[in-house]
A and B are shown apart, each in its own frame.
Chain A
């Protein structure tokens, strides 16, 4: 596979894992608040 293709898929996986972490594995640290932290609205 071409080098650029590899970069694309790495970025893609990073994006997916970021979202998963954000919405499904944030139970332990309940530090979300809008206006201060990452709030998605």
Chain B
């Protein structure tokens, strides 16, 4: 079967990803462009019995003038014939209402000499919006083929596939002449490179990108009478280019598109009036957040209990049915509880992503950006920081990358620096287990669950801290450039079920298989460290404990003797020695050495905390208690009483709320800021702050 490369390009908010999903179904994979953290989505679509298409969903961009890393990706691919993904045909996805603006990108790509199809999405809304297009006339003006599609209603895709299959019939001539904006300049360019596409040369000069034999300086130095343009001249010329293109587009649309301006503006206006209201807007936003956290807490309780119990039983079964030995114990006490510690959070993470993708898809997120810009500005942030900060509740890494569309460097840097304060999903496991141990499962006023409220407060605290530190940074850092802020306010849409499902499945899968592998590896290492010891105190534990019991004349049941032996062994295992070494540091915070170990291992990934405790506590335990039950039985070795009580619980919660405990985040901040300075500052300041706050909390509450 023959395969062709298809690139999907389009403005943000045009439903490009929905079109991609409709074409490829679940036949897609998400990866990265090598070396940079821009998401690369690709999929396969069968066009006919003989032909299939490899479809690449390029990051959304308004034009081919790169102003961000994401846009750079699109340009580099379209200019580089040697790239293995270089498209045979480009599909520009536009939505029906912003056709004019979308055509800017279309004309640019067409001018590169690529076969370019225009797919107009959301065609099902045409009638409602009072829009009429003369497709044939527009096809003639743009010198291309047009497909009207609707990802929502799944219409028009046969036509689109047919156009893609017959891409060789498409004209590759440019449709919009721009060289008149500076005729002399372009003539010179043409003289120097008679065989090159003139627009391509212009883009290379503009974007300062290098492609093997073609890069900026040789282009400009090739002829004597060629005077390179200064930066501001280039910028001015770029503006002229945009204006020239719009002139062409306006002319083309004038004869082909009619729009009844009064049709269906009602929904936008009335929803906006409510959702960006000075009071109700914020109120509704807070309400939505509260709803999300209550839902995460309440809806996931049942499946989580099931998973918890299931893994405890599995562990027990393994022990009964496999031959007795160290490896069987590793599986039953190390690996199975380790995997259980990951799987148990699937319901919650899926729910969180469900809500985030619903907010994005519906167009509500832009209203939140609008609503919050005024406030965020005062903290040295941009309204656009709200998206990274809210995505930070999923994971700090995509959040740091989401900050890329903030135009101003200072606002962007501050956003990146404070993101780790927001409560990422990795903290959720830690919060959940500690909250369930130290906060009563009762209701306030009959319907607000205390545990849910504490969780909400923790999210609030993370967010508040992010704002506060942003404000501090804003005061400290000097402002060099004038800030600007542009955000599109898309139409309200009902989210497309398929898109939401794909997002949720994608993100949950990557949590389980990504973070999961690390957790599993750490569980194995911990189990080994806890099951072996350096000296005789470990290997002769039974003997020593029995001697102690005889010496002190104690009468104990067999089970009590076993527990005593197990805890003696743990104390003198490798991990016991390591834990004891750090105990003086964590004791003032109300933790014992086991928690200390868990805090340290969670620097690999926060949720490792739970798995670590599960592993440490299950070593040597004979019955099928769940992790939670085991934790609630722990006794504080210094001051007595339950180890996980209100004071130590709050202290732990606060520590996890503030500490910078994620190696991957540090790595991504380094990459995005291009220096180690910022991640190291983050690590030191946040961890020190977390320590001090937890210390104060525990000492006050104990």
* Any A CB within 8 A of the CB of B96: no
Looking at the assembled complex, report how far the CB atom of A15 sits from the nearest CB atom of chain B, in whole angstroms: 4
**Residue interface mask A5-22, B partner, CB < 8 A = 1:** 101110110111011001
* Any A CB within 8 A of the CB of B34: yes
- B397:A30 contact, CB within 8 angstroms: no
- A39:B524 contact, CB within 8 angstroms: no
Residues of chain B in range 374-426 having any CB-CB distance to chain A below 8 Å = 394-398, 401, 424, 426
Interface residue range, chain B: 35 or more
The CA-CA distance from A26 to B697 in the complex, in Å, is 39
* Any A CB within 8 A of the CB of B237: no
Q: A32-B667, A41-B664 are in contact. Are A19 and B398 (CB under 8 A)?
A: no
Query: Which chain B residue shows the least CB distance to A23?
Result: B663
Query: Which chain B residue shows the least CB distance to A5?
Result: B326
- B34:A40 contact, CB within 8 angstroms: no
The CA-CA distance from A37 to B668 in the complex, in Å, is 13
**Residue interface mask B644-680, A partner, CB < 8 A = 1:** 0000000000000000001111011001000000000
Query: Which chain B residue shows the least CB distance to A16?
Result: B525
Q: A38-B517, A40-B605, A40-B662 are in contact. Are A33 and B524 (CB under 8 A)?
A: no
Listed stretches B238-246, B507-515, B549-557, B627-635; interface member:
B507-515
Looking at the assembled complex, report how far the CB atom of B281 sits from the nearest CB atom of chain A, in whole angstroms: 29
* Any A CB within 8 A of the CB of B594: no
Chain B residues with CB under 8 Å of A30's CB are: 32, 34-37, 671
- B35:A33 contact, CB within 8 angstroms: no
- B32:A36 contact, CB within 8 angstroms: yes
Q: A8-B528, A30-B34 are in contact. Are A37 and B514 (CB under 8 A)?
A: yes
The CA-CA distance from A2 to B558 in the complex, in Å, is 28
Q: A11-B330, A40-B663 are in contact. Are A19 and B521 (CB under 8 A)?
A: yes
The CA-CA distance from A35 to B36 in the complex, in Å, is 15
The CA-CA distance from A19 to B604 in the complex, in Å, is 9
Contact partner, A39, options B39, B330, B397, Cβ 8 Å: B397
Chain B residues with CB under 8 Å of A4's CB are: 323, 325-328
**Residue interface mask B568-606, A partner, CB < 8 A = 1:** 000000000000000000000000000000000000111
- B518:A38 contact, CB within 8 angstroms: yes
* Any A CB within 8 A of the CB of B30: yes
The CA-CA distance from A3 to B322 in the complex, in Å, is 14
Chain B residues with CB under 8 Å of A11's CB are: 327, 330, 524
Q: A40-B514, A41-B395 are in contact. Are A33 and B401 (CB under 8 A)?
A: yes
- A37:B31 contact, CB within 8 angstroms: yes
Query: Which chain B residue shows the least CB distance to A35?
Result: B398
Q: A15-B524, A30-B36, A34-B664 are in contact. Are A39 and B517 (CB under 8 A)?
A: no
- A37:B32 contact, CB within 8 angstroms: yes
Chain B residues with CB under 8 Å of A22's CB are: 517-518
Looking at the assembled complex, report how far the CB atom of B531 sits from the nearest CB atom of chain A, in whole angstroms: 8
* Any A CB within 8 A of the CB of B56: no
- Given contact pairs A11-B327, A15-B520, a sample of 18 additional A-B residue pairs in the complex whose CB atoms are under 8 Å apart: A5-B325, A5-B326, A7-B326, A12-B528, A14-B524, A15-B522, A19-B522, A19-B604, A23-B663, A30-B36, A31-B31, A32-B667, A32-B668, A34-B396, A36-B31, A39-B510, A40-B663, A40-B664
What would 15 A/B residue contacts be, using CB atoms closer than 8 Å? A4-B327, A8-B327, A12-B524, A12-B528, A22-B518, A33-B32, A33-B37, A33-B398, A34-B395, A34-B398, A35-B506, A35-B510, A39-B514, A39-B515, A40-B662
